[in-house]
Amino acid sequence: MEEKTTTVKSLCTKIDANRLVGLMEGLINTPSVVGYYPQIHEYLEVFAREYGYTVTYDNRHTAYIYVEGENPGQEAVVVGAHLDTIGMVVRSISEQGWLNVRNLGGVNFHSVEGENVYVHTRHNGTYSGMLINQSHSVHVFDDARSREREFDQMAVVIDEDVHTKEQVEALDVRPGDLISVEPRFVMTDSGYIKSRHIDDKANAAILLELLALFAENKIKPAYNTYFAFPINEEIGMGGRYVPKEATEYLALDIGLVGGQQAGDEKKVSICGADRVTPYDWALTTELADLAEKYGIDSVLDIYYRYSSDASAALQADNNLAPACIGMGCMTSHGYERTHMDGVLNTAKLTLAYLLDRSLRERN
């Protein structure tokens, strides 16, 4: 046990913060709105080849990197971070050539209004555009400030010379095309990270950094581990299917900041319950104890308007113990902000979970 403690502490010092930020920025800048996976899966494949891993997929297009543990057996654990982001889907095309949209996931249109967006067509590439309110100008519309910012009051205008429905259709834009949002990634000198899609690509970057760390140091996790990367968490479906041998699902997802939340951008939040379920008592206690053991700055918290891939797995009657951790994140589902300290604390706690299972007797 002392040897394991030493290993965890040593590896925590080897987490490459610069590489982690690079992975985060790369993931964030790769579009992967709910259900749109071609580019992000290519990014994952390139990473996996570099570090000697293989990516597999289930029929729902969740990506997995499987790593055999030091104690290989019939059971396995899942650590997951979803690759999908909130966004929109084309609902219809108006006669003036605007795209009527529906949200995918919990989009806050107040935050996204005026942002650059990208329309992914099935056969003709991607078009840039802008999300606007139907009453888009204070100089033109009396209700420009008061009109609702809901999906049926919003539209996407494509950055092409199109002014009719037929002209838009000639671009091969159709209902069902998916729309991603410009992330605008910024890393400040003081360690703050500002971007859309920190939820959940900051956590996906953590898993990739830990996989790189395992490969470089020839380290195995304590138990067989599936590193899972769902593509439809934002609509509540990401973790509903898991490999049958999984006994635990640790979801890495953002912690919440503000109001009655205990979360902090510089800390890792350990979630005790979300809107769906309390998380597993023993596993959550183990995570809190691991944070204390290794001096990881953490808080216990519960989330009111929130669910994760782990609670989705439980909802789908998977026979496993769920848990959830993640860095505190300001302005979630908007232009988000976190701090590198919170990212590193989340990485360290995940590493401790993967390597040091001595604090709880396993079934």
Q: Which positions are catalytic?
A: 233
Q: State the Cα torsion 34-39-40-43 to the nearest 10°.
A: 180
C-alpha torsion sign, points 15, 18, 23, 25 = positive
Note whether 261 and 330 are within 8 A (CB).
Answer: no
Q: Report yes or no: 241 and 228 within 8 Å, Cβ to Cβ.
A: no
User: Residue 310 to residues 223, 240, 277, 313, 356: CA-CA distances in angstroms?
Assistant: 18, 8, 10, 5, 20
Residues 6+ apart with CB under 8 A from 235: 34, 104, 105
The three-state secondary structure class of 102 is strand
For residues 20 and 28, give the distance between their C-alpha atoms in angstroms, rounded to a whole number.
12
| Residue whose tokens read 């909130």 | 86
The token duo for 267 is: 């800390």
Instruction: Report the amino acid identity of residue 137.
Output: S
Q: Is there a contact between 15 and 24 (Cβ–Cβ < 8 Å)?
A: no
